[in-house]
């Protein structure tokens, strides 16, 4: 796919949704970090249901630590892998308090040093909280980018690097959210909604619906 085609795709995404953002509900950088950590192998809907109650009683690292591991588990037990997530979250809160005065760090190195925070989570925080032009490649972005033809990566890191190379700079900050939302609601895994797709004529997906 050439550069003009890629630019045309993101122009349409921008026109359709000028200010895309995450569907996770949060009021602070810390709440966002918690929500993203809990969202691994879970839906945003399930995370939002859990954090709505959790953040009412503990919305800071200090609050989570005061809550304790077992009480924390009771708030997030409806989310997959809640035992390991509770453990990582407690360890992360301890580090935030001891090393960062309770604040969420703004560098990749510091974020990835937190238990339970990998490259994808760090990219989400850097992008959504701090406005950096990072792209967190999840299953939606991996599928959509390769299917459309923007990338041809065999793993998430390859796709991430190709996206950053191929997407014009003016679109990079919002590209993460546009691609996720497109994959979540239109370019679905089993039944892509090609007939209602705003970039259908620009897509290189090999399966085209007869018009």
Q: Measure the N-to-C terminal CA separation of the chain; round to a whole number of Å.
A: 23
Per annotation, catalytic residue among 66, 99, 120, 201: 120
Q: How far is CA 138 from CA 42, 95, 195, 203, in A?
A: 12, 26, 24, 20
User: Could you confirm whether 174 is annotated as catalytic?
Assistant: no
Is the Cβ–Cβ distance between 124 and 22 less than 8 Å? yes
Q: How far is CA 88 from the centre of its chain?
A: 18
> Which of these is catalytic: 138, 154, 191, 201?
138
Residue 15 annotated among the catalytic residues of the structure? no
CB within 8 A of 206, min separation 6: which ones? none
195 and 189 in contact (C-beta within 8 Å)?
Answer: no
| Active site positions, annotated | 120, 138
């Amino acid at each position: 796919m050439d550069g003009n085609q890629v630019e045309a795709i993101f122009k349409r995404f921008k026109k359709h949704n000028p200010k895309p953002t995450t569907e996770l509900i949060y009021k602070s950088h810390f709440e966002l970090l918690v929500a993203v950590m809990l969202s691994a192998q879970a839906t945003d809907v399930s995370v939002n249901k859990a954090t709505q109650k959790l953040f009412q009683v503990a919305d800071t690292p200090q609050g989570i630590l005061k809550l304790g591991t077992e009480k924390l588990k009771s708030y997030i037990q409806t989310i997959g892998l809640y035992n390991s997530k509770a453990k990582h979250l407690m360890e992360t809160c301890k580090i935030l308090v001891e090393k960062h005065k309770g604040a969420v760090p703004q560098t990749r190195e510091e974020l990835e040093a937190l238990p339970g925070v990998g490259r994808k989570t760090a990219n989400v925080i850097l992008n959504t909280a701090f406005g950096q032009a990072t792209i967190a490649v999840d299953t939606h972005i991996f599928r959509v980018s390769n299917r459309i033809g923007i990338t041809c990566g065999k793993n998430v890191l390859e796709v991430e690097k190709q996206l950053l190379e191929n997407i014009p700079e003016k679109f990079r900050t919002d590209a993460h959210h546009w691609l996720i939302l497109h994959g979540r609601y239109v370019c679905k895994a089993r039944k892509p909604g090609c007939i209602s797709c705003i970039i259908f004529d620009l897509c290189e997906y090999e399966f085209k619906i007869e018009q």
